[in-house]
Amino acid sequence: MTQRHSWSYSAVKDFKGCARRYHVTKVLKLYPYKDTDATLFGKEVHKALEEYVRDGKELPANMRKFKAVGDVILSIPGQKLCEHEMALTADRKPTGFKAKDVWVRGIADVLVIDGDKAFCTDWKTGGAKYPDKDQLELMALMVFEHFPEVNIVKGALAFVMHDVLVKAVYSRENAEKLWAKWNAGADLLDKAFEVDRWNPNPTPLCGWCPHESCEHWVGRRRR
C-alpha cells in the first residue's frame, strides 16, 4: 500500500507546477525559503487585518487604506476566526494541525461561522490577473469536515491592492465530487514519493527557480 504523505493546497499546486522544483525545495530543502519585500509586505497586511478583525486593534497609518476590507468582515454576523488552522486525517477526521496523523492541512485567513453558513476569505496582496479559486475550494471542504453544521461556504479571494473580490460558493452536497479531484492530486504526490521520480516541467518561469543545475534552468539575465 502506498504511504500517505501530508499535503496542502500550496503543496499540490507546487508539485503540479514542477515536481522537480517541489522535490528540491520542499522535500530535500536544498534552498531555504527567503522572504522578499513583497512577501514581507503581505505578512504585514495579514497581521494588521487579523488584529483589526479579531482584537479591534487600530490599523497602522500605512494600513488604513485596507480598513474597508476589514469592515466588510466585521459586518458579517457570526463567530470570527482569524488565521484559523484546520487539519484532517486520511479518513477526513479533524486532527491537530501538527499531529502525526495529519493528511491535509490549511489555514483560513478569516473564517466566519454563522449557523449553517460559513464565510471564508483569503487576503491577497499580489496581482489579481490569475486568481486561483482552488484554494477556496479546499478550504470549503475542510470547513465541512470541521463544522458539521455548515452546509454552505461562501468563499472570497480579496485582492486588497486592486479592490478585486473573486467569489465562489460551495455546498456540502457537492463535497464528495470535489474531494475526488483533491484525492487524485494527493495520490500523484504519494506516487512520486513511492517511486522517487520527480519529473521537471519546463515553463517560462524556470528562470525564477533556484535549482540552477537543472537542464531546463535559464537565467533571467539571459532572457
| 9-222: in CATH 3.90.320 | yes
The separation between CA 210 and the C-alpha centre of its own chain, rounded to angstroms, equals: 22
pLDDT at residue 223, rounded to an integer: 40
pLDDT at residue 218, rounded to an integer: 83
The neighbour count for residue 147, using CB atoms within 10 Å, is 17
Q: Are 107 and 120 in contact (CB under 8 A)?
A: no
Closest listed residue to residue 182, CA positions, set 149, 145, 148: 145
pLDDT at residue 84, rounded to an integer: 98
Indicate the burial class of 48 (C-beta count within 10 angstroms; 0-12, 13-18, 19 or more): buried
pTM confidence score: 0.93
Task: Supply the DSSP symbol for 1.
Answer: -
Q: Measure the CA–CA gap between 123 and 156, rounded to whole angstroms.
A: 9
- In single-letter form, the type of residue at position 136 comes to L
Pairing of strands 152-159, 117-124: parallel
Q: Are 99 and 2 in contact (CB under 8 A)?
A: no
Domain ranges of the chain: 9-222
Instruction: Please report which helix (H) or strand (E) contains residue 197, including its range.
Output: none
pLDDT at residue 4, rounded to an integer: 87
Parts of the chain with a pLDDT under 50: 221-223
Q: Are 170 and 151 in contact (CB under 8 A)?
A: no
Question: What digits encode the pLDDT tens for the residues 159-203?
Answer: 999 999 999 999 999 999 999 999 999 999 999 999 999 999 999
pLDDT at residue 122, rounded to an integer: 97
Q: Which residue has the cell 515536481?
A: 19
